[in-house]
A and B are shown apart, each in its own frame.
Chain A
Amino acid sequence: MELVHSYENPSLLKRLSAVDWGYALLVLAAAAYTYVLYGEMLDYYEKAILAGASLGLVAMGWFWKPWRAFFPASGLLALGGISLYHGDLARGQSAFWLKYALSSQSAIMWMCTLFFLATAMFWAGLIRRSDTLQKLGSGLTWSAALMGLTGMFVRWYESYLIGSDVGHIPVSNLYEVFVLFCLITALMYLYYEAKFAARQVGAFVLLVITAAVGFILWYSFDRQAHEIQPLIPALQSWWMKIHVPANFVGYGSFALSAMLGIAELLVLRDAKRAELAGGEAQPGWFARRLPAADVIDEMMYKAITVGFLFFTIATILGAMWAADAWGGYWSWDPKETWALIVWLNYAAWLHIRLVKGWRGEPLAWWAVIGIVVTSFAFLGVNMFLSGLHSYGGL
């Protein structure tokens, strides 16, 4: 696989193009405008967060170029939706564009639909070995993520329409974090897809997203979980805003790595069969269609390093939050304990790979099993165990 890399390595600033600077200006202008509008209402923390968030967004766009289009696009869509509300939540059911596209629920339903379509497209592309279909799959994944992020932004705004004391960032319950999970997993996949030129694995990664989408649909149609609820006192904390997203970068990358693990196992199985059959044999079905095992292996490793870093940070932030809310940074609450278990699991994985130098099958299996452990920490604890995190119940 040829990697598209320029041989030049000039310093960061020299590498920035006019588009980069334009994007940065746009983000900073938006932040400045926000400040002019709401500056008086912000306290120090909020001002610091505004500044930090804008710089972070600029950095994100410089680091990952598609973000320069993706983020402003979802911002514009969200602003469009918000402006249609005229401050009245009921318009979500009457104004055409809100009702069918831009109210948070409609946008999220679009996200769900687009993810389904993307999955189908990726599989069709894999079966027919069609690059065009797989490109379409990527495109659909991008649009699904776009609608998802837009939906989250609009939901954030809607929560304030319900009541000024109700408004909060939409990362406060299982429904909201599931949308976040789909979004983050998809975006991380899109990043690696481009970096490794390995679009073929999309068929696998999208499966886990589809599963999450299925859950979202069940959860909102059957359980009405999409209702916006105000925050109970335990959740009214700064820590929530960073702890939860950090956690979901972790969960997203672990899920991603598990799906890559499955893909790698299938390729390796084909390779083994070919070996048994002697050198003349055709490569197997998956081996013909998927990237080489070591490429998938490296993607998986990269995903786990990102996941591990963010999961570490999230756990530490969780501890700091717990120290504010529950009277101690560590209480051996089931959710905390399972976070530790997940963390230990991937720490062991990393050691085996980096220190012992293992590669291939055993680690791929381990990554697949890792998702079982991770899902239990994410969902199982809420379903089967009780504890201080009980507001996350199904």
Chain B
Amino acid sequence: MKTSKRQAGFGSSLFELLSSMRFAIGLLTILAIASVVGTVLKQNEPYPNYAFEFGPFWFRVFETLGLYDVYHSGWFLVILAFLVLSTSLCITRNGPGFVKDMRAFRDKASNVSLAAMKHSIELEGRIAPEAVAGYLGREGFRFKVREREDGATLFAAKKGVANKLGYFFAHIALVVICIGGLIDGNLPLKLGELVGRVVPETRDIPQSQIPEQSRLSAGNLSFRGNVTIAENKSADVIFQNAGNGYLVQELPFIITLKKFYVDYYNNGMPKLFASDIIVTDKRTGKETPATVKVNHPLIVDGVAIYQASFGDGGSPLELKGWNLAQPAMAPVTLRGTSLATQPLKANGRDYQLEFGELRVFNIENMGGAQGDAKTFSERMHDAREVKHEKALKNVGPSISFKLRDAQGQAREYQQYMAPITQEGASYLISGVRSEVAKPFQFLRLPLDDDGKIDTFMRLRAALLNSALYDEIAARTTAKALQGQAISPAMQQQFQSSVKWVLARFAQGGFSALEQFLDERVPADKRQAVAQTYVKILQGAVVDVMDVAQAKAGLAPLPEDGKHYRFLLDGLVGVSALNDYGAPVFLQLTGFEQVQASGLQMTRSPGKNLVYFGSLMLVIGIILMFYVREVRLWVLCYGDRMRVAMSSNRHSRDLDSDFARHTESLNQLVRDA
């Protein structure tokens, strides 16, 4: 097929190599292997994560190799470039031959060469040329008739030459797709970075202060970046990741987020994420309102705007602050904004209150562990059922915050606003942890009949107030006497025991009592003594509550199981607050949700080229696979004729085709 009249110099052997099949297969393989790298190593993470994972040495090595963004690294682009080059050269090399071949009828074939073909047969009989021509025409062949000097007539027919066209379609398509991809890739940006015209910003500073060298003009051909906009706020730039930093891409318009919303299915799974936005053209000032949803981007000025993420946009919060060191103090109202930091002064000390995200919905799976102990028939039943009631539940809004002291030490808290019901009783839940990596430990504070924590706080205040112990102990002792739990002789001793237990509990909760036991009581007696303490506490807590209620001018709690449980939970709560580690208990009481929407914006002018190339690719593959190129020769000479066939591939189909055509031609001979 190839004509090698060329000088066999370096240039031509290079051409030979680059356009060769060997080289192409090699490239395909290398490209496949290189692609694996980027799927195994997570791409485009913040650099500190990599440094942490690999240690300083390998971090450097991998950075130099460009492994944190493989698909945009120089070497990867070089492989792609070689693939484009190799495919283009392959086309230029094979193309002319293929075109010539498509055009040709191969009407020079001699009887000898036809006889040498794998599918070739000599038939007896004479047949009119018109009959052959008619048959070939009916069978969809294009053919050329050649009267030969020896008096023989040759019909050289062909069908399905579009198969070769497929080669052009498919291979040109690949070049087209790669060019489209290149236009949308960040090659110009990489070059800009290389010559130092573009420098990614690594500091976390306000957008307006970012220097010119890290900004890209709105005229930039292609880009892809993100921006988070809070409700009723606007943005006219997006941020593009660039290695260890980011770049600011100016937009030709301003985007204002009016509202972000999420819909949920009945089972708590999200159903819709959407943003109502207004796009204002910077030049004309024209405003276009629109809604962007997942899978339904908005396209303005060739820029596609996508719903990419969402979050809190800084919501005003209202909290109630209970001073834990001064339990008798009334709570104060505190205002703040989520995602913002504000100072907090408590008991003469300075703290930083760093609010995190306000989450209005917290969907939790409240169902217990999925039972392993299911019977076979239960399992069969489950396997038949396509709908299971999941115990998914919205546990309501929550706010997280960190409380940082003057030394910079911080603890993180998570406060839920709505009560949680467990076994019929309501609680307020608060999570705390001292390190981000640890799981939250949850505190359950029992709620009173009004659904408030006020009664609990009152109980706590009384428990910690040693001035009340005399009165409490007196009441408890009187009850014990009355119930004949103790003898009159023990009265004095019992009363002081009550006071001692209360004081010790006030100091450090259950663990303070435990510690005392461990230090002072012989091991064999601990169990018994501990039980006594617990009994005393459980008895005294009723009186603590009564005294607290009386002092507040309120009616005592009814004496029933429900309220007794409240008191016991109260003891657990008071004890646990010792490990809470905050000077104040901040209860979330109200908020005004302001959401933020994360929008991704892209401009990719190469997209249409890529789609066009893809269409060509599919057409090309169909032509190559499913259009069979067949050549048929009928050579009539005297009372005989020779039928021969060839095809570029698919020999089995050719077998049956050949049989069919010879049979039909034979039939024509017989009919003649």
Contact = CB atoms under 8 A, between A and B. Distances in A.
Interface stretch (B7-15, B333-341, B489-497, B604-612): B604-612
A8 B663 CA distance: 9
Chain B interface mostly = helix
A214 to B, nearest CB: 14
Interface in B1-45: 21, 24-25, 28-29, 31-32, 35-36, 38-40, 42-43
A104 B385 CA distance: 9
A308 interface: yes
Contacts of B484: none
A294 B512 CA distance: 84
Contacts of A56: none
B271 A344 contact: no
Interface string B278-311: 0000000000000001111100000010101000
A8 B656 CA distance: 11
B535 interface: no
A37 interface: no
B386 A158 contact: yes
Given A105-B386, A232-B269, A355-B21, A347 B655 contact: no
B294 A234 contact: yes
Nearest to B304: A327
Interface string A134-170: 0000000000000000000001001100110110000
Query: Residue among B31, B273, B385, B649 with the most chain A CB within 10 A?
Result: B385
B625 interface: yes
Contacts, number: 165
B181 interface: yes
B265 A230 contact: yes
A313 B618 contact: yes
Contact of B295 (A165, A237, A308): A237
A351 interface: yes
B306 A327 contact: yes
A337 B33 CA distance: 11
Contacts of B600: 326-327
Interface in A325-339: 325-330, 332, 334, 337-338
Query: Residue among A227, A329, A385 with the most chain B CB within 10 A?
Result: A329
Given A224-B388, A305-B625, A348 B618 contact: no
B379 interface: yes
B31 A344 contact: yes
Contacts of B617: 312, 316
A345 B32 contact: yes
Contacts of A332: 38, 43, 70-71
Interface of B: 21, 24-25, 28-29, 31-32, 35-36, 38-40, 42-43, 70-71, 139, 181, 184, 224, 265-267, 269-273, 293-297, 304, 306, 308, 370, 379, 381-388, 600-602, 604, 607, 610-611, 614, 617-618, 621-622, 625, 649, 652, 655-656, 659-660, 663-664
20 contacts: A3-B656, A9-B139, A9-B660, A99-B384, A103-B384, A221-B379, A221-B382, A224-B382, A227-B387, A232-B270, A234-B295, A319-B614, A328-B604, A329-B610, A340-B32, A341-B35, A341-B36, A344-B29, A345-B32, A355-B21
Interface of A: 3, 5, 7-9, 89, 92-93, 99, 103-106, 109, 155, 158-159, 162-163, 165-166, 220-221, 224, 226-230, 232-234, 236-237, 298, 305, 308-309, 312-313, 316, 319-320, 323-330, 332, 334, 337-338, 340-341, 344-345, 347-348, 351-352, 354-356, 381, 385-387
